[in-house]
Structure 1
Amino acid sequence: MTYDKNSGDDHRPNLPPSSGEQLAALRILDANFNRVSEGLRVVEEYCRFALEDRHLAQNAKEIRHDIGHLAAGISPETLAKARETLRDVGTGVTLGSEKTRAGILDVVIASTKRVEQSLRAIEEYAKLGYPQLSAAAKQLRYRAYTLARAMLLTDHHRQQMAKRLLYVLIDGRASDAEFASLVRMLVEARVDVLQLRDKRLTDRQLLEKAQLLKSLVEQFAPAGAEETAERPLLVMNDRPDLALLARLDGVHVGQDELPVDAVRKIVGPEMLVGVSTHSIEQARQAVLDGASYIGCGPVFPSNTKQFGSFVGTEFLAQVAAEIQLPAFAIGGITLENLPQVTAAGFSRVAVSAAVSSAADPATAARLLKTELLAAAARQA
């Protein structure tokens, strides 16, 4: 019987593996089950003690436990009989680069790679007699990819937005002059994020207003503000296409708008993608979807947007307890009810009327920022 490697058809007989092959495959599976569990423990400890993110630590723990269930598909006695650590030629093979790490993040990145590679080894070698185990390992590998991304993005965006506490939503105002006056006041008041949201404008008008916003901020921000986080980040509501055309910093979408992966196909990997969440389940999913930050609300009734229900501060407390991705409380927040928000563990808020409709927007923004800085210091 012949096999033409160029034909695409494999005519080789489907023979069972020899006893020697079976033993080797079991040794490989045993080693990689251990390697995955060990790597996931490193990842879990990083999420727990370094990120202090209960949601991601829980995900790591669940994958680790599922690996245990997966390994149970082969009897422990069978794996133990195949194990031969003393004569393993690989125990003495070590690269110099494996002996040191530049930092804690390098430790966890190395472990995530080890987990992914080991799951691939399990997937391939389990095909020799354990096809269901192979399919399950494949799905766990995809979950490991998702966890690794969420973990790295949480760390990155937490650092990127460490000093970003006050997020203000603005509309296009009645005229460009009025718009420019408001933007100047907010930039000088050190607002951290500005979102352009105006359902009244046509697409062309909205794009022009976004371009004007960018030019105004570049004009009003102090020299070097980009590097010191003193220039506000600029975000477009709902419209990734217009955010990209106006060269803003990000786009914010709700639960009824495009999902994060679809937004990424439009704006690319660098732009911020914020997501509105109204429940802890939505918040958890946004983290796994790769959001840059989340909005959490509506907390209180608002004059600028109508909602049928309000999540209250209970939802904020849930998010604060388990998610470290930057999260902004939103919905009817004012200087008067801000203590309820900070008491729930939040030091970031997104507001609209509390600043943009105030008699003195700059003063309103400064007062909110002062309280948020104090809350952040207490929660540190």
Structure 2
Amino acid sequence: MTNAESRTVLRILDANANRAGEGLRTLEESARFILDDLCLTDCLKTHRHDLAVAMGRWNRLQLIDSRDTPGDVGTQVTTASEQSRADLSAVIAAATTRTQQALRCLEEYGKTSDPAFAARIESIRYQCYATFRELELKMAGSNTRSRKLRDARLYALIACEPNADRLEARIAELADAQVDVIQLRDPSVDDRTLFEQARIGAAIAKQREVLWIINDRADIAVAADADGVHVGQEEVPVDALRGVMGRERLIGLSTHDIEQVHAAARTTADYIGCGPTFPGKTKSFDHFPGCVFLKQVSDAEQTGELALPAFAIGGIGLDNVEQVSQAGIGRVAVTGALASHEGLRQTASTMREILERVPFRLTADSEAVGSVLER
């Protein structure tokens, strides 16, 4: 190659090394801060380090000297899509695409002067394909779960069934009745039974496109590939559970007064249960915060102090769901109201109609997206 051609190759290598490094850093931050995924964060950091080592085969001063940002005509070429991102998944998709393209350019132009360098970049590129696949799938799963949760109105709590067929039938009838979230809660069974039902239920719920939550047991939720776990005030703290669950799965937290609601808002919880609202048949309580508590929660949403989806829970049925709605809460978690097979669809439909009188407000997830894009 002529000196001019060699300098041009250096310019291309410099530009694409910067592009690939920036893309990998963007993805590493996504794995670290959005998904809280140690393994993915480590993989992406390793890819970034390997790229830096590979670029060490080139003289850094020569690369910098070849740089001509003011004279680069490409800096003047932009598209409208470059100036905005629809959500966090779009940020990741743009970064993976940009990084892959930059690595390919490094490989191809590197072949003109250093085949060994090109081979190393090819290896990094293939490793990145596998990591990027896992990252995007996890992010997509996280976004899908968060979106379904934000749109949810009806949350049903169920116990284990005698066999897989009965469990499938139960989930199917709830899904057909437009229940959005189903929680498996059964303290009467052993761990193996709970895990088997959780695993079977997770697969069925996914097919039916409803969220599948396991009560208390984060270990079983993860092992069974459930969408999340729900815990009480006396269980393992939410932020400690996040290390087990990862960012892509949901964590719900029970709250019984407005102080606990404010405390929940400072954790990484994805939603809260608020109650007990009325006396129910599944649990005994000495105190019922009732609709006064629900109104406090609604007021906190109105003022922006709370940006978590809040589900009223405790003895809620057709005879009192109107009171929940009037308190400003448009989501409920129920057991007995949807326990009967007879009239299930009509009951669910009527409850949903009443709950939909309460409009949804901005949630923490959508605020997070907005703040990230503004930066």
TM-score range, shorter chain: 0.5 to 0.7
Secondary structure of 1:262 counterpart? helix
Out of 308, 314, 318, the position equivalent to 1:335 is 318
Q: Check conservation: 1:158, 1:324, Cα contact below 8 A.
A: no
Deviation readout 1:67-122 (Å, 9 max, x if unpaired): xxxxxxxxxxxxxxxxxxxxxxxxxxxxxxxxx9858999xxxxxxxxxxxxxxxx
* 1:234 lines up with 2:234 in the alignment: no
Whole-angstrom CA distance in 2 between matches of 1:164 and 1:250: 15
Deviation at 1:182, TM superposition (A): 1.4
* 1:185 lines up with 2:163 in the alignment: no
Whole-angstrom CA distance in 2 between matches of 1:188 and 1:159: 19
C-alpha distance 157-201 of structure 1, shift in aligned 2 (>3 A): closer
| Unaligned residue ranges in structure 2 (runs of 5+) | 1-81, 89-142, 301-305, 363-375
C-alpha distance 343-378 of structure 1, shift in aligned 2 (>3 A): farther
Q: Which moved more, 1:369-378 or 1:241-250?
A: 369-378
Q: Which amino acid aligns with 1:239?
A: R
Whole-angstrom CA distance in 2 between matches of 1:266 and 1:339: 38
Q: Check conservation: 1:210, 1:246, Cα contact below 8 A.
A: yes
Whole-angstrom CA distance in 2 between matches of 1:378 and 1:286: 18
* 1:196 lines up with 2:179 in the alignment: no
Judging by fraction of residues, say which structure has more helix.
2
Aligned residues: 223
Secondary structure of 1:169 counterpart? strand
Q: Which residue of 2 aligns with 1:364?
A: 347
* 1:170 lines up with 2:158 in the alignment: yes
Out of 310, 324, 331, the position equivalent to 1:348 is 331
Q: Which residue of 2 aligns with 1:126?
A: none
Out of 257, 260, 263, the position equivalent to 1:282 is 260
C-alpha distance 262-374 of structure 1, shift in aligned 2 (>3 A): same
Q: Check conservation: 1:182, 1:361, Cα contact below 8 A.
A: no
Deviation at 1:308, TM superposition (A): 1.1
Whole-angstrom CA distance in 2 between matches of 1:156 and 1:101: 24
Give % identity: 41
Q: Check conservation: 1:158, 1:326, Cα contact below 8 A.
A: no
Out of 251, 272, 279, the position equivalent to 2:229 is 251
Whole-angstrom CA distance in 2 between matches of 1:278 and 1:157: 25
Whole-angstrom CA distance in 2 between matches of 1:212 and 1:311: 36
C-alpha distance 273-377 of structure 1, shift in aligned 2 (>3 A): closer
Whole-angstrom CA distance in 1 between matches of 2:297 and 2:214: 24
Secondary structure of 2:248 counterpart? coil
Deviation at 1:157, TM superposition (A): 8.8
Deviation at 1:335, TM superposition (A): 1.1
Structural mapping, 1:262-281, within 5 Å: 262-281=240-259
* TM-score (ref. length: structure 2): 0.55
Q: Which amino acid aligns with 1:350?
A: A
Q: Which amino acid aligns with 1:201?
A: V
Q: Check conservation: 1:157, 1:292, Cα contact below 8 A.
A: no
C-alpha distance 233-157 of structure 1, shift in aligned 2 (>3 A): closer
Deviation readout 1:186-223 (Å, 9 max, x if unpaired): 1111211000001111111001001111222244x2xx
C-alpha distance 251-167 of structure 1, shift in aligned 2 (>3 A): same
Whole-angstrom CA distance in 2 between matches of 1:101 and 1:372: 38
Q: Which amino acid aligns with 1:189?
A: A
Structural mapping, 1:23-38, within 5 Å: none
Q: Which of structure 1's runs of 4+ aligned residues deviate more than 6 A?
A: 103-106, 155-158
Q: Which amino acid aligns with 2:347?
A: A
Whole-angstrom CA distance in 1 between matches of 2:289 and 2:186: 24
* TM-score (ref. length: structure 1): 0.54
C-alpha distance 104-320 of structure 1, shift in aligned 2 (>3 A): farther
Secondary structure of 1:161 counterpart? helix
* 1:215 lines up with 2:198 in the alignment: no
